[in-house]
Amino acid sequence: MKRLFIVYNPRSSHYKSVKKDIIDRLQGLKGVMVGKFEVAATNVDENAQRLAKVLATGDLVIAAGGDGTANIAINGIMLSRAQNVKFGVVGYGNFNDVARTFGNLKLDDILKGHVKRVYPLECKINGKHWRFGMCYFTLGMFAEACAVFDAPRTRKTLRKGGRKTIYSLMTLAKWWLKNRRRKFLPESFHLGDSSEEFMECKKVSDYMAVNGRSVAKIMKGSDWYLRDGAFLSMTGCMTKFRKLMPMMTKSMFKRIPGSESDYDCLVFPEPTKVMIQAEGEYKMISGVRTVEITKVGKPLLVVAK
């Protein structure tokens, strides 16, 4: 009998819809053993490790929720020793970058199953694996800005629905005005590539590695997730209005500016405390000397358009 796992977060803003549209419908599915994986109130890594332990060869994992839930499912599959595990996502979040990357499929589309091989990003900190990310990793100001969406008042407003994109942009603009004079990355650090050539980065507030079709819903990426090795690399000073606006304009109406890379290594002059995030899931990490971004050699099997 085939096995299917629903990964969901009972504390999410849209859990009632997830239960009605996904969980209740799948409970009556014939010929399939349906399991529920409830995201615990811990962190991405602990949840992913728990999921990895229960997966078996040939399972189908459906993430029903936002990008955080999808990120847990992806990391669980990538950490698992099980073979031929397939992944699908139905977006119920505020941004849904992962769901958008794979075509915003509905439940019925995923159950029919058209599988593609895709290649997530991997982030290593101080030479050790930290996390996988399908759509993007960011360091610096953009990463810290994610915290504003976890504020109780903001989550309550987003839960009501309506013009969420406009409200999100206004919330970010207020946060930017309040924090634009802060330093988010060291004054100077080095960025290396696969040829072991390093360039010095000065007065940079952000680093971004993009692999999916969008970042925070409004910034346009591309189909690097289909490529074995390539992703978009970008650095910039987003605390300066004259630099932020051209970057955001290009990102929203054309594509995020940057250059194609197959390996990035950020080297800080001394142990640094820095915020890192993937798909909206962020963490402040101390003692960071190096951050490496590469594509994963092992593909992920995804149900996608």
pLDDT tens per residue across span 35-58: 999 999 999 999 999 999 999 999
For the segment 136-161, the average pLDDT, to the nearest whole number, is 77
What pLDDT, on the 0 to 100 scale, is given for residue 245? 94
Q: Which CATH architecture has domain 123-295?
A: Sandwich (2.60)
In the predicted model, is pLDDT for residue 124 greater than 80?
yes
Instruction: Give residue limits of the domains in the chain.
Output: 2-93, 123-295
Quick one: which H or E segment has residue 282? strand 281-295
53 vs 240: CA distance, rounded Å: 46
For the segment 13-35, the average pLDDT, to the nearest whole number, is 92
For the segment 92-120, the average pLDDT, to the nearest whole number, is 94
Q: How many CB atoms lie within 10 A of CB 51?
A: 22
What pLDDT, on the 0 to 100 scale, is given for residue 27? 86
What pLDDT, on the 0 to 100 scale, is given for residue 161? 55
**Residue 249: helix, strand or coil by DSSP?**
helix
In the predicted model, is pLDDT for residue 292 greater than 60?
yes
pLDDT tens per residue across span 4-13: 999 999 998 8
What pLDDT, on the 0 to 100 scale, is given for residue 164? 65
259 vs 224: CA distance, rounded Å: 12
In percent, the amount of the chain with pLDDT more than 90 equals 82
For the segment 284-299, the average pLDDT, to the nearest whole number, is 96
What pLDDT, on the 0 to 100 scale, is given for residue 205? 97
In the predicted model, is pLDDT for residue 299 greater than 90?
yes
Q: What's the CATH superfamily of 2-93?
A: Probable inorganic polyphosphate/atp-NAD kinase; domain 1 (3.40.50.10330)
The 3-state DSSP composition of the chain as helix, strand, coil percent (nearest 5) reads: 30, 35, 30
pTM (2 d.p.): 0.93
Phi-psi region of 292 (alpha: psi -120 to 50; beta: other; left: phi over 0): beta
Instruction: Tell me the torsion sign for CA atoms 290, 291, 293, 298.
Output: positive
pLDDT tens per residue across span 206-263: 999 999 999 988 899 999 999 999 999 999 999 999 999 999 999 999 999 999 999 9
Phi-psi region of 26 (alpha: psi -120 to 50; beta: other; left: phi over 0): alpha
Average pLDDT, the chain: 93
In the predicted model, is pLDDT for residue 155 greater than 80?
no
121 vs 212: CA distance, rounded Å: 10
Residues ≥6 apart with Cβ < 8 Å to 148: 154, 171, 172, 175
In percent, the amount of the chain with pLDDT more than 70 equals 94
Angle (nearest 5°) at CA 15 between 143 and 215:
25
